[in-house]
Amino acid sequence: MMDREEAARTEILARLAVSREELLRVIDPPPEEPGGGPKAGDRPGGFPRSRTMQILMSGRGLGTLGAAALGLLASRPGLALRLLRILPVSAVAKTLLIRGIAALRERQVRR
């Protein structure tokens, strides 16, 4: 009786290990692009940490997000202001400030 239980337990643990490996392959981020610089979420506590927020904070994502925010502000200003209170303003402001400074430095280097 114990041998069957032990065999069943071993089989379950093996299937769990396989499913963990599959999940890690699915969730693991794609390899770094050559020549790509460090991302904001690379350091501990960096913003944005999630891949979704990194996409939204990219150039095209910011344009789309801004258009959606302006549309929401025009149609339902009360809801837009309530949602704005949820946003981590200090982290977003820091990110925007860093991007602005980097753009200015890049423009000076081009001259």
Rounded to 5 degrees, φ, ψ at 45 are 80, 5
Q: What would the two tokens of residue 78 be? A: 């009360």
pLDDT digit string (tens) for the chain, length 111 residues:
678 999 999 999 999 999 998 888 777 766 665 555 555 555 555 666 777 777 777 777 777 877 888 898 899 999 888 887 888 878 778 888 888 888 888 888 887
**8 A C-beta contact, residue 48 and residue 57:** yes
pTM: 0.36
Question: What's the rounded Cα separation, in Å, for the pair 26 and 92?
Answer: 29
Question: What's the rounded Cα separation, in Å, for the pair 106 and 86?
Answer: 33
Question: What's the rounded Cα separation, in Å, for the pair 70 and 55?
Answer: 19
- The length of the chain in residues reads 111
Question: So what's the pLDDT on residue 84?
Answer: 79
Question: So what's the pLDDT on residue 5?
Answer: 92
